Amino acid sequence: MTRRLLLLLALVATPLAAQTVDTTGTGVLIGEAMNRSQVMTTLEYLTDVIGPRLTGSAAMKQANDWTEAQFKLYGMTATQEPYEYGVTWERGPIAFRIDAPFPRNLSAHSWAWTAGTGGKTLTGPVVLVDASTPESLAVYKGKIKGAWLMLRPPATIQNPDGPPMTAADSAAMQAERQARAAAFRGAGRDTSAAARQARRQFGVDRNYLLKQYGALGVLTDASKEFGLMNMSGSPYSVSPLPNVVIAHEDYAQFGRLIERGVTPKISGRVDNTLGTKPVTQWNTIGEIKGTEWPDQVVILGAHLDSWDLGTGTTDNATGSAAVMEAARVIMASGLKPKRTMRFILFSGEEEGLLGSAAYAAQHASEADKIQAVLVLDNGAGMITGMALQGRNEDAQLWTDLLAPVAALGADKVREGNKGGTDHLSFIPYGVPGWNYDQESRGYNHTHHSQIDTYDHAVPGDLRQASAVMAVTGFELANLPVLLPRGPTREVTPRTVLPPSPGLVAKK
């Protein structure tokens, strides 16, 4: 019988309950975090001094170096662990204008890992094209040459200053959006493996085909209100065509004009630089050695990288600053965790959880000794509690872990899964991984936008989040038992799917 099975049996006999969480020292941690906080100073340096931290950029490396040095200042050991990332991408200047039906400037920003316009201003009509399948693209093929393309109808968005939506309104809006998307895409898709692979290949080929057919570039709806931008991108999906995000209001106007038979005309130039070779990137790791089980580890994490339209504050310098502050608070308290605590600031999160996936793969042989991974990446708001991520048997455990910070508002334990951030990289290895629930504090507006800046951080909330991370991480480090592992599944390394033969544009 393995030790793990014995442990599991022991847990079945004695469920993790209130008596197993040792809350000793949590009052000291809360006092340090709430009364002598340095979290806003850390945040300000990361966002206003270092600035946006696009993975692969010089600022990213500066952030890795600075955070490593900070951990050492707190009295901990710290290091940077490398991984192979992908090609770099650098944003250059951009200028877009509507020429017709009347001239004015456009608010436009490039999607990442997309090409520029080759040093030229490109002028052409705006055309709505369904390029979602090879069949639909064939229908529109003749309209593409010399045009800027909208690949989907304008999104439906809610004015945040309008009256609150009723549940019925909200459901109707959702249904309308889905119906529109389904009609545009052609509903009833083949879900066989072959069909999915073909769709993936077409997804890679599409922009090469559009370029071959003479498109000037793609326009993407920012899909937010008040001219707020939105963007993403990855070295795993490099586009040979410019892809420019424009404000929803402009995109929606184009949609209305086209519907009434008026063709808008625009001019634009964007100068981006794509790297040619994969580069090395780093995660920053601070560590406090455990006194009793030093080979067992609790990880507190957030992503240090960001998009680059603002300064990457709410996504996710706030999380990074809270992780650093939790480390500082524990060091300043003089308390010693029984298990090792690692404070990891991942890079490459925005491009597909690349830094955390690399870390989890490189540390796969230690996965059984990682007690838990706790990630903070839902904006600037205070922590409200925890979503159980399928581990509903841990509801009582989380209620008990949060008990010392319940008075700070972090008391809600709920069933549910959180997606889209670094805890996901560890779950396939059976490691318990969680992402704290937070107040939104406008996160849906700020994230990935040009206003993701220091102004949107909330000092009291960040002090609270740091306290909650320090307390719950410390308690898990001192829990008498290792948590039972979750189910494992195979992790296939991510690879770049090349375009079909013959589609790479000749220089």
Strand residue runs (E) in 136-209? 148-150
**Which H helix or E strand runs over 8?**
helix 3-13
Nearer to Zn ion, 57 or 296 (CB): 57
Residue whose C-alpha is closest to residue 349's, from 384, 312, 390, 387? 312
Q: Count of residues for the chain? A: 507
Using an 8 Å Cβ cutoff, are 403 and 26 in contact? no
Nearer to Zn ion, 316 or 438 (CB): 316
Nearer to Zn ion, 235 or 337 (CB): 235
| Residue appearing with tokens 């959180």 | 418
Q: Residue 139 CB, nearest distance to Zn ion (Å)?
A: 38
Q: Residue 447 CB, nearest distance to Zn ion (Å)?
A: 7
Nearer to Zn ion, 28 or 321 (CB): 321
What are the φ/ψ torsions at residue 258 (nearest 5 degrees)?
-60, -40
- Calculate the dihedral angle through the C-alpha atoms of 132, 138, 139, 145, rounding to the nearest 10 degrees: 100
Using an 8 Å Cβ cutoff, are 319 and 346 in contact? no
**Which H helix or E strand runs over 463?**
helix 459-478
Q: Cα separation of 86 and 341, whole Å? A: 30
Q: Residue 428 CB, nearest distance to Zn ion (Å)?
A: 20
Nearer to Zn ion, 32 or 315 (CB): 315
Using an 8 Å Cβ cutoff, are 113 and 273 in contact? no
Nearer to Zn ion, 315 or 394 (CB): 315
Strand residue runs (E) in 347-409? 370-375, 383-387
Nearer to Zn ion, 377 or 461 (CB): 377
Q: How many CB atoms lie within 10 A of CB 130?
A: 17
Nearer to Zn ion, 111 or 148 (CB): 111
* 3-state SS, residue 307: coil
What are the φ/ψ torsions at residue 352 (nearest 5 degrees)?
125, 40
Q: Residue 394 CB, nearest distance to Zn ion (Å)?
A: 24
Nearer to Zn ion, 220 or 316 (CB): 316
* Per-residue CA distances from 52 to 141, 208, 307, 451 (Å): 39, 30, 7, 12
Nearer to Zn ion, 207 or 313 (CB): 313
Q: Residue 287 CB, nearest distance to Zn ion (Å)?
A: 23
Nearer to Zn ion, 210 or 424 (CB): 424
Residue whose C-alpha is closest to residue 463's, from 42, 22, 39? 39
| Interacting residue ranges for Zn ion, rule: CB under 5 A | 315-316, 377
* Whether the bond into 316 is cis, omega within 30 of 0: yes
Q: How far is CA 41 from the centre of its chain?
A: 23
Question: What is the DSSP track for 67-125?
Answer: HHHHHHHTT-EEEEEEEEEE--EE---EEEEEEESS-EEE-EEEPTTB---TTS-EEEE
